[in-house]
Structure 1
Amino acid sequence: MIIERAYVHVASCDERAWPWSVPCVRALLSDGLRFTAPVTFLVGENGSGKSTLVEGLAEGFGLDSWGGSHDWRYAGPRPKSVLGERVRFDAAPRGRRMLSSWSARKGFFLRAETALDALNREGFDADSVSHGEGFLAAFREKFFQPGLYVMDEPEAALSFSSCLELLGHIHQLVKNGGQVICATHSPLLTALPGADIVEVGEHGMRRVDWDELALVDHWRRYLAAPQAYLRHILD
């Protein structure tokens, strides 16, 4: 583990204004988010705030909000977001040196919109492979040493088999001492044994078991009887 808890350091704020109006951000503000496993999945509907949350966590750790590794910037120096500027961490024993020393800090922020461009700018020829292969290349090339790795919907470009390969990379990364925080809609990824799952929504944040996730229930029902869903859309 690199970090044990994330929280927001702010003297005062208007909870009616963004990002403090987002329920999961308010929960981070009031209670913080404790990390209990090397892999944490954040799940929730579109608009629930999970991407805002992972971006703020990445920025708080010193990663560029547009994606890339700790020692690289997407477009030169850029001010952090309102949330990223105020995120703080309680370090685990392994992560104390990283948080106290900029040169010792290691990590990567992978976001779907800019992943391939980030790889190109860091020296990998992502244009020579497919979109999905480029995502997997990010793991082979950049996700291998102890550090904090933040991901925003990495399954977006991946097939079923590629998602399974991604799980294998995450498992090896954790064995090497890495920590992963991932926003996702994937029931496949969230099934990783030992992972902590945090569901975000109007309630804020709460921990759930994999088989209690709404997205798992919907996929089960849809695959068992697609017409039960499609008739409401197509009729």
Structure 2
Amino acid sequence: MTTTLITGANKSLGLETARRLVEAGHTVYAGMRDLAAGDAARTIGATPVQLDVTDDSSVAAAIASLPELDVLVNNAGIVGGARTIDELTPEIMRATLETNVVGIVRVSQAALPLLRASANPVIVNVASGLGWPRFLLEHPDAEHVLAVPYPASKAAVITLTVQYARSLPTFRVNASDPGYTSTDLNGHTGHQTVTEGTDATVMLAQLGADGPTGEFHDRDGRIVY
């Protein structure tokens, strides 16, 4: 049985990822800041775990509660505000990076001992096409995106993924792009369903030891430079 931890799994992409991986036979722990929001996770067969990616003690307690771990899906993230340069402040930038980037490092580092004990350790970092400069410059979905914090944080996630993959050659470490999916983050304006938005994450979470690593994928396949 594959044991999987998903951060930010109380709703939306995280919850749908949990549902699909439970369906695929994983034992899923659904990380969330508030366990009062855990009913949906329980309904799909996942086990809610209190986990705030911005809090060291919360992360340590969550990891300590797991019997084992094979797959870590770093899904938790925030938009971060500052939709224009004029609205941007250092505080907004710092808060966005704390959740979207430092949170991944905090959880991943805490999980490394359990993952190293797995026969097939996998890490999936949920990034975004908005972290890809070519996408920001050329894709119609990014035409009106002027915000700095969120795209910058997701660019960092993509880079983090590559460096973790290089440093952990026995792991499969990849990043996924959900695409423009209808979620709370965009006011449900996205044109994809959450099922479509989790296609890449779910595929990468089920990689075998011979699968790719250090790559960036959306539901259509690998995103290349």
Task: Report if TM-score (shorter chain) is over 0.5.
Answer: no
Q: Normalising by structure 1, report the TM-score.
A: 0.34
TM-score by length of 2: 0.35
* More helix per residue: 2
- Which one scores higher on RCO, CA 8 angstroms, separation ≥ 6? 1
